[in-house]
Structure formats: C-alpha cells, structure tokens
Amino acid sequence: MTTQDPMSAPVTLAEAGAVPPEGLPARRRAPLARLLRAEVRWIFRRPRTLVVLGLLAALPVIVGIAVDLTLDGPVAPTTGGPVGEGPIGPGGEPPIFVTMVTSAFVLPLGSLMTLLILLLPLTVAMAGADALAGEQDHGALRGWLLAPVARGRLLVVKSFGVLVVALVAAALVVTSGLLTGLALAGTDGLVSMSGTELSVGDVLWRLAVAIAWATVYLMGVGAVALAISASTEHPMLVVVSVLGGLIVSEVLMQFSALDWLHPYLLPTSVSSLVDLIRDPVSFDGLGEGVVRALCYLVIGMSLAYARLTTKDG
C-alpha cells in the first residue's frame, strides 16, 4: 500500500472542518465576522453600486421638485378642511402625488412605492448577480472555497451582502424623500392622507416600518436572484430574469380575470405601503406582504443552497 506525501495531499472542502490527518497542517476556518466585513467592503467598492445608490438618493429629490413645479391650480387640503378645487382621489383623499406637495411625510413613502416597482429590485438583483454568478465568472469564487469557506457559509455571507444593499437602498430613498419633503413643505407638512396632523415621532416610526417592510420585500427579490445566480455564470442573465419576472407580474396584475393568481405575485404587496400614509394605520396588507416575501425568501434560499451544495467546482 503506497502512501502519499502529506504535505502535497489536497484538502477537500469536506475535510476543511474536520480534523486533518497526522502530519497535515491544520486549516482554520475564516471567522464569519471577518467574511461579512470583507463582503460588505467589497460591495461598496464597486463603482456600479455607488452609482445606483446615488441615483436612488437623487430620484426623490427630482420627483419632489418636479411635482412642486408642474402641479397647477389649488390642491385639495390635507388638514381636514373643506376640499378645494384640486383633484380628489378615492375615499375623498387627494391623490398621492398631489399630496406630496403639501405633506413632507408622503413624499418619502410615495417615492419608495414608486421605486419598489423597478429600480430598487434592479439594485438588489445586481447585488445578487454579482454575489455568485459575477464572482464565478471572474474566478473570484474559487478563492472563497480555498479560504476555506463551506458552501453553506458562503451563501450566508453572500445573502448578508444582498441584505445590506437592500437595507441601505431603502433607507436612502426614504431619507432623501423626507429631507426633500421638509425642504418643500416644512415641518408643518407632517400630515397623513387622511388629513390628520402627525408628530415627528409618528412620522419616524412609520418611516422605520416602511424601511423594514421594503427590506423584507427586497430580500424576497434578492433570494430569487441568488437562486438564479447560483445556477449560471452570467450575471446579466440574473438581472434580466429577475426584472423580466417582475415586469410579467405587473402585467398579469392588470387583468381582473387573473385575480386568483394575484396573491402569489410578489409585486402585489407594494400597494400596501399606502396604508402607512393613512391614519389610523392598517397592518393587514403589510402583514400579508411580509408573509408573501418570506415565502419567496425561503424558496429562493433553499434553491440557492441546493444548487451550491450539489454544484461541482
């Protein structure tokens, strides 16, 4: 029976966490905290990430100024007084884009709802595509396995990076919208679409709920992106697939004959954010949206894990 030189024997991924054979130097696992920091640092060093985040911060400013400059005629008041000559939406409330002019509270949530349709999911899809498919395309993913990093831990690290992108993007949109709304309407513009005046504390906790809800929603999108990213080496295919699915879902939502399908479509949840602008707040639609997003998250992460653990190389 021949023996192999222990110094030249390869160490497989399965052996990385086991006790090494006698004479073979022990290979320590890379600390999880260090891996998470390295992933976040690498994400925010990508120029395209910074460009997209800058665009997300600028869009609420552009929307607020554009609505303020282009809206002609008196606006229906939002303080509970008699309705003026401006347009009125369902339930006697002014439309959300009209209310943006007179309420600093509505602009951040209105901007968040608008960007959740396409641009925010695009940002998360890009992060998910770069996380696995992009690094595999450039050969950088092999370095993670040589760290050594087990494939389950690799998925955790990459998912954390997508989560950070989702949280930062949602918080950036809301913060930019709030500052723009305060600049246009002042602190007297903290009113709901129902016409009630809100305190600063009321506004802040509602915006915090909106950021948390949007982060969960975007992680549902990110999980799907990671599942596709684990199955291909082409990051653009991931972005196109995710955006294509969202666009098809938006189209299907326009057909009343497909009402039975709407509860299974992720974009159905976005309209629930308008409940945070009303007073009192209804959490029924928001809760349903969280459950729907978590279902997408569990399914997407399960598929990504199954693909990573059975993939050669």
Is the residue at 5 inside a domain? no
Owning domain of residue 196? 32-310
Is the residue at 9 inside a domain? no
Q: Answer for the pair 39, 160: CB distance below 8 angstroms, yes or no.
A: yes
pLDDT at 131: 87
pLDDT at 301: 95
Is the residue at 180 inside a domain? yes
Written as six digits, the tokens of 24 are: 């073979």
C-alpha distances (whole Å) from 234 to each of 40, 126, 129 are 22, 12, 8
pLDDT at 34: 84
Nearest Cα residue to 203 out of 283, 106, 113: 106
Q: Residue 127, class by beta-carbon neighbours within 10 Å (0-12 exposed, 13-18 middle, 19+ buried)?
A: buried
User: What is the reported pTM?
Assistant: 0.81
Rounded CA-CA distance 234/21 in Å is: 38
Tens digits of pLDDT across the chain (313 residues): 444 444 334 444 444 444 445 544 555 666 788 888 888 998 999 898 999 999 999 999 998 888 878 765 444 444 444 333 444 444 445 556 566 666 778 889 989 999 999 999 999 999 999 888 877 766 566 666 555 667 788 889 999 999 999 999 999 999 999 998 888 877 776 777 777 888 888 889 999 999 999 999 999 999 999 999 988 888 899 999 999 999 999 999 999 999 999 999 999 989 899 889 888 888 999 999 999 999 999 999 999 999 888 876 5
Is the residue at 137 inside a domain? yes
DSSP-assigned letter for residue 230: T
pLDDT at 105: 82
pLDDT at 28: 62
Is the residue at 20 inside a domain? no
Written as six digits, the tokens of 112 are: 């968040």
- Return the SS3 of 197: strand
Q: Answer for the pair 211, 171: CB distance below 8 angstroms, yes or no.
A: yes
pLDDT at 145: 59
Is the residue at 74 inside a domain? yes
Cβ–Cβ contacts within 10 Å for residue 171, how many?
19
Is the residue at 51 inside a domain? yes
Written as six digits, the tokens of 240 are: 């196109």
Is the residue at 8 inside a domain? no
pLDDT at 15: 43
In 187-283, which ranges are continuous DSSP H helix? 200-229, 235-252
pLDDT at 169: 96
Rounded CA-CA distance 89/87 in Å is: 7
Going by C-beta distance under 8 Å and a sequence separation of 6 or more, which residues neighbour residue 91?
none
- Return the SS3 of 259: coil
Domain count, the chain: 1
pLDDT at 161: 93
